[in-house]
Amino acid sequence: MKKILVTGGAGYIGSHALVSLIEQGFTPVIVDNLRNSDIKVVDRIAQITGVRPEAHIADIRDERALRQLFADYQFDAVIHFAGLKAVGESVAQPQRYYHNNVGGSLSLFSVMAEHDCYRLVFSSSATVYGVPESVPINETAPLCATNPYGHSKLMIEQVLHDLAEADSRWQISLLRYFNPISAHSSGLIGEDPDGVPNNLMPYISQVGIGRLKQLSVYGDDYDTPDGTGVRDYIHVVDLASAHSKALLALDVDHGCQAYNIGTGRGYSVLEMVQAFERASGQVINYQVRARRPGDIATCYADTRKSAEQLAWRAEFDLDAMMRDLWRWQSNNPSGYK
């Protein structure tokens, strides 16, 4: 299994997965509409790996374009990252999210089946666990979404379970990412959010570089050790390496399997601020504000299934995550622009 179509491969996680796939001897081909990414990323991947991946600018809802790609390349498998991911935006524009994420996925799965390509690794999210009843969360926990983005992930998971049930040729991994952060150690690729970041670490690093003035800490009255929210932050390079492991596991795994991709350990917002300050030498100005609607207190993964069945585990610790994040942010103060 060598030739892999990577939808959304120019994006934050996709670009790191490209590096990992190339290093593991796969031939990944990008399809991306560049809605939330920059084509410069292809040069950066080439600089890191010495291999320039082929990249096609197209929307996955364009079935004609997808058919042409499958005819040209005869892919062995697909890694499907393409999607919109901003929770708040999904509440304001649900139709756009369902159309892009669910509609795009349905087009992709049809074209895959037309071309006898039944191996798929899908980017799901810990958001499908909604408000967890207990932590660490394992893959059999009840599923529930609290916003259109989360619903779109749950719907796609359901579609994939049903496809695998109906046709035993499908071999599918649902990777439920916890909180990806940081950047490749080269400082050449990283997260480059459009506008003001929604997520904690890009916000902190933009305060660190002086693009933003102050971090709002959303609530310090949660039932957690210091009162601020606790999450399972994972180095994006660790997350990326789970994809080649998942591709290899598809050879033995039939049906549709879900895997948590996290470290199994949680850190609070204030611990993240302190760790960033240690790594960067910058002081992060912050103010505690009201809780953000929809946030939960604590979320971290039970990682036993991915360790046992994918032979994968996260390796980078918090200091490494912060060091690599700061290298990316300080080398690229305005991202790819």
Sequence-distant (≥ 6) Cβ neighbours of residue 146 within 8 angstroms: 127, 130, 131, 294
Give, in order, the Cα–Cα distances in Å from 195 to each of 11, 86, 284, 295, 326. Answer: 15, 12, 20, 21, 19
Smallest gap from Cβ 103 to ligand NAD, in A, equals 8
Give, in order, the Cα–Cα distances in Å from 224 to each of 128, 199, 228, 296. Answer: 22, 19, 6, 11
Rounded Cα distance between 181 and 197, Å, is 13
Residue 229 contacts ligand WQD per CB under 6 A: yes
Smallest gap from Cβ 291 to ligand WQD, in A, equals 7
Among 19, 183, 269, 321, binds ligand WQD (CB under 6 A): 269
Residue 217 contacts ligand WQD per CB under 6 A: yes
Sites for ligand WQD among residues 63-102 (CB under 6 A): 85, 87
Q: Is 336 a catalytic residue?
A: no
Sites for ligand WQD among residues 275-294 (CB under 6 A): 292
- Spatial strand order in the sheet of 298-299: 267-268, 230-231, 298-299
Tokens of 37: 């990414």
Nearer to ligand WQD, 48 or 200 (CB): 200
Binding site for ligand NAD (CB under 6 A): 7-8, 10-14, 32-37, 59-61, 81-85, 100, 104, 123, 125, 177, 180
* Nearest to 153, CA basis, from 179, 182, 130: 130
Sites for ligand WQD among residues 287-326 (CB under 6 A): 292, 295
Q: 264 near 232, Cβ under 8 Å?
A: yes
* Chain positions contacting ligand WQD, by CB under 6 A: 85, 87, 125, 127, 179, 198-200, 203, 215-218, 229, 231, 269, 292, 295
Active site amino acids: 149
